[in-house]
């Protein structure tokens, strides 16, 4: 009799064994099977292993059906999943759920999907006809709103009465139109019925491949780039992982392109990872121009059908040679992988936060390469980590000689690094010289830049209008009912929002505590900055980029392309604007409030603040001339500020690592956070103490806590956190075993039946 150990999409430890019926003799690991589970459920799982050892102790069921002729998961992927499940302490079923696109998880196969687009009907594609159309709709306000929203989005509204040339019309999906305009389906249907708009279908995959390839001669590298390129190849002779530490705008991307071409010439695949948010049309087009149809793109915003298609293609005889993707692309099947590029390797979004598995794509990529090397794939795949601001972990590994290190210290064409001027906000406030959040220097320089036809970026790491509302009389502050945080005021939508659970509240007209009517927004969010900038620079063409203005991918792309093309000249944004965007005409960057990044209760605060400021500054003066950064802070004497000004990564690294070593933090110690969550604060408190006692028994002073995290209640669940600090050389398999043992002992107690317990390994 044959048995199959199956991975099921459940948050339960281990594999589940089923009897393989004689009719399924061709079954192989990596194929999907349908299996019964519990009394009446059935699931699609993936076979991890076939064997002949009958498990003892329980009655086995037969698997119901085999869904594939060929494995959809490779042997290597199965081994990688097993490693991830073990290392990140997350059931393998959850790893499978993260890896497989839902089309492969569902019981049916996938169908190629189409998307519905909207366009202006032919008879109305003229200014005069448009006026007629608008008049027609005078009595149908909903339709009129939707119609105007369409004209805005598509660019038809850009045409004036005399203009007879066609405006640059963009393609708009019906979904986007509905999202942006708030229009409902009936209004849109009416517009189609009236013959004003028409709809058409486009197959999703056609869109994502971006049409015809334009094989373009690859750009010649500068001498510095050529040296770095040679340096990387030489480093790969000795080290499987190499760090390319290149300042912003040094041409790292060009270097990658040459390295990719080299792999393709040798018939090997390349995986190019970028943080989700940096995967813009800018970079996709740049690569598409060079690699055309050889390039596949994979990230979470793409339709599931598309993702299934890419997965299948990677298993086929004609896979993409290059995959450009975000975090989850590391979980695709690969054959004959030659190189993995992890660009912006310091980016925290490479780490999945929620749900499990809380994996780090960079580290998974490195592990994947080493599994392949152990598989005798020859030559073994190499990993290149690229960034202007390496994570401390990576730089530490490079210093120890575990990773190779190649540096690019000059910008392409010798453009100077930006001139960073520190402004003492507290002093200026005392002298009443600040205009709201803006220093005189910043206002002057932005004005000059705009007058010269250049662009400016203002960076504020808070969205919304004001981070909190406060009663001027009694200091009452509205808080979320479900979370332990104050609410953010979004004035454009006239509501208070919880940034942890998304719940929205009406803005109170009076203070419920004292009845006072003077409720004031405290602090500055991007919305308020935008309001004030509009007053100060009425002529500026302003755009704002934050989570609230980029609900759709199209909206996000539009903000970037408008700014790139100079249609807007002043960009206000949160950290989103720092992600590897390449703008030509930005001469001034303002960092409005460095303190909001520095005063964060987290051991990584300075690390993140330095990187954020260095990256944001890197947007200044990319082409043509030296840019200016105005860095506003209340702590101008803080050594970290000086390191940013001097752009001295090495000194930053030295100062931070000293502290980390002293206080037992990464990269010298490993961290594991253990989280407990429950509705009842009392229960989670008791559970935390109990788990703490159990764990301290084994780990002694390596265990800290339980403590309340900075936000101790989210979505009605109270939270406790325990921290394990583990020295290198400790047996991690043993550590995990003890953790699991403690967990099992705890959860046997009926009181803790609904307690959530999970781990964050190598937290960021
Ligand atoms: P990084 O990734 O290091 O920030 P990029 O690769 O984006 O830098 O390069 C910055 C700018 O310089 C881009 O606009 C790029 O097209 C240009 N550039 C870089 N290297 C070359 C080259 N060898 N030839 C022509 N243009 C280049
Ligand atoms: Zn009050
Ligand atoms: Zn909330």
Say yes or no to pLDDT of 107 above 70: no
Percent pLDDT > 90 in the chain is 71
Q: Which atom of ligand 1 is nearest to the CA of 388?
A: 3
User: Is 527 close to ligand 1, i.e. is its CB under 6 Å away?
Assistant: no
Query: Of the given ranges (138-147, 313-322, 328-337, 398-407), which has the lowest mean pLDDT?
Result: 138-147
CB under 5 Å of ion ligand 2: residues: 471, 473-474, 476, 511, 513-514, 516
323-375 tens-digit pLDDT: 999 999 999 999 899 999 999 999 999 999 999 999 999 999 999 999 998 88
567-617 confidence digits (pLDDT tens): 999 999 998 888 767 788 899 999 999 999 998 889 999 999 999 999 999
- pLDDT grade for 75, boundaries at 50, 70 and 90: very high
Q: Looking at residue 149, what is its pLDDT?
A: 87
Give distance in angstroms: CA of 511 to centre of ligand 2. Answer: 5
| E strand segments, 657-716 | 669-678, 703-707, 713-714
Mutation choice for ligand 1 from 253, 280, 413, CB with most ligand atoms inside 8 A: 253
Give the integer Cα–Cα distance in Å for 229 and 244. 9
- Alpha-carbon gap, residue 583 to 562, rounded angstroms: 11
SS3 at position 324? strand
Burial class (CB in 10 A: 0-12, 13-18, 19+), 223: exposed
pLDDT for position 474 = 96
Q: Which of 220, 249, 584 to mutate to test the pocket of ligand 1 (most atoms within 8 A of CB)?
A: 249
- The encoded tokens of residue 684 equal 């989670």
Ligand 1 and 118: CB distance under 6 A: no
Ligand 1 within 6 A of 578 CB?
A: no
Which string of b and e fits 527-546 if b means at least 16 CB within 10 Å? Answer: bbbbbbbeeebeebebbbbb
Helices (H), 435-543: 440-451, 526-536
Cα 464 from Cα 357, distance rounded (Å) = 31
Question: Residue 725 and residue 666: Cα distance in Å, rounded?
Answer: 9
Residue 246 Cβ inside 6 Å of ligand 1? The answer reads yes
Residues with Cβ within 8 Å of 671's Cβ and at least 6 positions away in sequence, in order, are 665, 723, 724, 725, 726, 761, 762, 763
Instruction: Quick: pLDDT tens for 619-671.
Output: 888 566 789 999 999 999 999 999 999 999 999 999 999 999 999 999 999 99
Q: How far apart are CA 560 and CA 284, in angstroms?
A: 13
Whose CA is closest to 633, among 450, 479, 434?
Answer: 434
Ligand 1 pocket mutation, candidates 222, 224, 252, 254, criterion most atoms within 8 A of CB: 254
Strand ranges (E), 346-403: 382-387
Report whether residue 271 contacts ligand 1, using a CB cutoff of 6 Å.
Answer: no
Q: Mean pLDDT in the chain?
A: 90
Q: Is 225 in the pocket of ligand 1 (CB under 6 A)?
A: yes
- Separation in Å, CA 660 to CA 322, 700, 702, 725: 38, 20, 15, 12
- 280 pocket-lining for ligand 1 (C-beta < 6 Å): no
pTM here?
0.85
Cα separation, 737 vs 744, in Å, equals 11
| Ligand 1 atom closest to Cα of residue 220 | 23
Contact call for residues 380 and 369 (beta carbons, < 8 A): yes
**Of 223, 259, 222, 262, whose CA–CA distance to 244 is shortest?**
259
3-class DSSP state of 130? helix
Answer whether 520 contacts ligand 1 (Cβ < 6 A).
no
Asked if residue 564 has its Cβ within 6 Å of ligand 1, the reply is: no
pLDDT band, very low/low/confident/very high, at 209 (cuts 50, 70, 90): very low
Q: How far is the CA of 470 from the centre of ligand 2 (A)?
A: 8
- Ligand lying nearest the CA atom of residue 502: 3
pLDDT band at residue 376 using 50, 70 and 90 as cut-offs: confident
CA–centroid distance, residue 379 to ligand 1 (Å): 29
Q: Report how far Cα 357 is from the mean position of its chain's Cα atoms.
A: 15
410 lines ligand 1 (CB under 6 A): no
From start to end of 38-79, where are the E strands? Answer: 41-51, 65-66
Return the higher-pLDDT residue of 567 and 215: 567
> What pLDDT sits at residue 186?
87
Tally of CA atoms within 13 A in the half-sphere of 467 that contains its CB: 7
Q: What tokens were used for 215?
A: 């094989």
On the CB side of 285, how many CA atoms lie within 13 Å of its CA? 6
CA gap 140, 142 in Å, rounded: 6
Q: How far apart (Å, rounded) are the C-alpha atoms in residues 631 and 377?
A: 49
- The pair of three-digit structure tokens given for residue 551, joined into one six-digit string: 């609900």
497 CA distance to ligand 3 centroid (A)?
8
- Establish how many alpha carbons lie within 13 A of residue 751's alpha carbon, considering only the half-sphere containing its beta carbon: 10
Among the atoms of ligand 1, which is closest to the Cα of residue 580? 4
- Quote the ligand 3 centre to 711 CA distance (angstroms): 10
- Structure confidence at residue 202 as a pLDDT band (50, 70, 90): confident
pLDDT tens for residues 695-744? Answer: 999 999 999 999 999 999 999 999 999 999 999 999 999 999 999 999 99
* pLDDT tops 50 at residue 206: no
Q: What is the 3-state secondary structure (H, E, C) of 172-209?
A: EEHHHHHHHHCCCHHHHHHHHHCCCEEEEEEEHHHHHH
Residue range 32-52: mean pLDDT, rounded: 93
């Amino acid at each position: 009799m044959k048995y199959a150990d199956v991975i099921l999409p459940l948050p339960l430890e281990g594999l589940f064994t089923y009897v393989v019926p004689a009719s399924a003799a061709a079954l192989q690991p990596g194929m999907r099977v349908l299996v019964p589970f519990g009394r009446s459920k059935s699931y699609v799982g993936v076979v991890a292993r076939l064997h002949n050892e009958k498990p003892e102790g329980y009655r086995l069921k037969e698997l119901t059906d085999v869904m594939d002729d060929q494995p959809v998961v490779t042997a290597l992927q199965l081994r990688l999943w097993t490693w991830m499940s073990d290392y990140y302490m997350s059931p393998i079923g959850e790893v499978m759920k993260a890896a497989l696109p839902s089309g492969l998880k569902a019981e049916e196969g996938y169908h190629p999907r189409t998307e519905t687009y909207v366009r202006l009907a032919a008879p109305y594609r003229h200014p005069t006809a448009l006026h007629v159309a608008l008049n027609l709709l005078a009595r149908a306000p909903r339709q009129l709103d939707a119609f105007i929203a369409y004209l805005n989005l598509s660019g038809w509204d850009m045409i004036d009465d005399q203009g007879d040339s066609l405006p640059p019309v963009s393609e708009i999906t019906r979904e986007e139109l509905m999202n942006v305009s708030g229009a409902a389906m009936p209004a849109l249907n009416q517009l189609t019925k009236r013959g004003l708009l028409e709809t058409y279908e486009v197959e999703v995959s056609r869109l994502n491949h971006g049409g015809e390839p334009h094989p373009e001669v690859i750009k010649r590298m500068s001498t510095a780039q050529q040296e770095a390129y040679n340096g990387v190849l030489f480093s790969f002779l000795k080290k499987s992982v190499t760090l390319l530490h290149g300042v912003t705008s040094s041409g790292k991307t060009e270097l990658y392109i040459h390295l990719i071409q080299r792999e393709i010439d040798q018939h090997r695949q390349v995986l190019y990872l970028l943080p989700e948010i940096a995967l813009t049309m800018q970079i996709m087009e740049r690569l598409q121009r060079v690699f055309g149809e050889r390039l596949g793109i994979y990230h979470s915003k793409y339709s599931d059908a598309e993702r299934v298609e890419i997965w299948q293609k990677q298993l086929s005889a004609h896979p993409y040679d290059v995959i450009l993707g975000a975090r989850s692309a590391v979980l695709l099947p690969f054959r004959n992988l030659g190189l993995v590029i992890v660009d912006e390797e310091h980016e925290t979004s490479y780490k999945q936060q929620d749900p499990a598995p809380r994996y780090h794509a960079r580290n998974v990529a490195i592990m994947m390469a080493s599994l392949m090397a152990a598989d005798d794939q020859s030559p073994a795949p190499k990993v290149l980590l690229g960034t202007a601001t390496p994570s401390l972990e990576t730089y530490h590994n490079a210093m120890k000689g575990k990773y190779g290190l190649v540096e690019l210290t000059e910008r392409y064409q010798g453009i100077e690094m930006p001139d960073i001027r520190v402004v003492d906000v507290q002093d200026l406030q005392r002298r009443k010289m600040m205009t709201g959040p803006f220093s005189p220097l910043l206002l002057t320089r932005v004005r000059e830049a705009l007058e010269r036809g250049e662009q400016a970026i203002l960076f504020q790491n808070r969205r919304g209008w004001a981070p909190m509302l406060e009663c001027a009389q009694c200091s009452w502050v509205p808080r979320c009912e479900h979370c332990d945080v104050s609410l953010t005021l979004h004035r454009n939508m006239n509501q208070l929002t919880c940034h942890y659970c998304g719940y929205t509240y009406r803005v109170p007209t009076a203070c419920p505590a004292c009845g006072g009517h003077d409720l004031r927004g405290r602090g500055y969010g991007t919305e308020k900055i935008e309001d004030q900038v509009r007053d100060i620079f009425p002529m500026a063409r302003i755009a704002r980029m934050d989570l609230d203005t980029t609900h759709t991918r199209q909206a996000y792309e539009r903000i970037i392309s408008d700014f790139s093309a100079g249609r807007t000249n002043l960009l206000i944004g949160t950290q989103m604007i720092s992600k590897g965007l390449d703008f030509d005409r930005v001469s001034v960057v303002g960092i409005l409030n460095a303190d909001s990044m520095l005063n964060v209760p987290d051991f990584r605060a300075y690390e993140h603040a330095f990187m954020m400021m260095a990256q944001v500054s890197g947007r200044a003066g990319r082409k043509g001339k030296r840019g200016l950064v105005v860095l506003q802070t209340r702590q101008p004497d803080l050594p970290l500020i000086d390191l940013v000004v001097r752009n001295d990564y090495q000194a930053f690294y030295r100062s931070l690592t000293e502290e980390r070593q002293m206080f037992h933090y990464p990269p010298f110690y490993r961290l594991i956070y253990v989280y407990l969550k429950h509705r009842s604060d009392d229960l989670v408190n008791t559970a935390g103490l109990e788990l703490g006692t159990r764990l301290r028994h084994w780990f002694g002073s390596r265990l800290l806590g339980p403590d309340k995290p900075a936000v101790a209640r989210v979505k009605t669940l109270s939270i406790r956190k325990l921290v394990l600090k583990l020295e290198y050389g400790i047996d991690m398999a043993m550590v995990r075993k003890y953790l699991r043992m403690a967990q099992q002992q705890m959860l046997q107690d009926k009181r803790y039946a609904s307690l959530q317990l999970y781990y964050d390994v190598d937290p960021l």
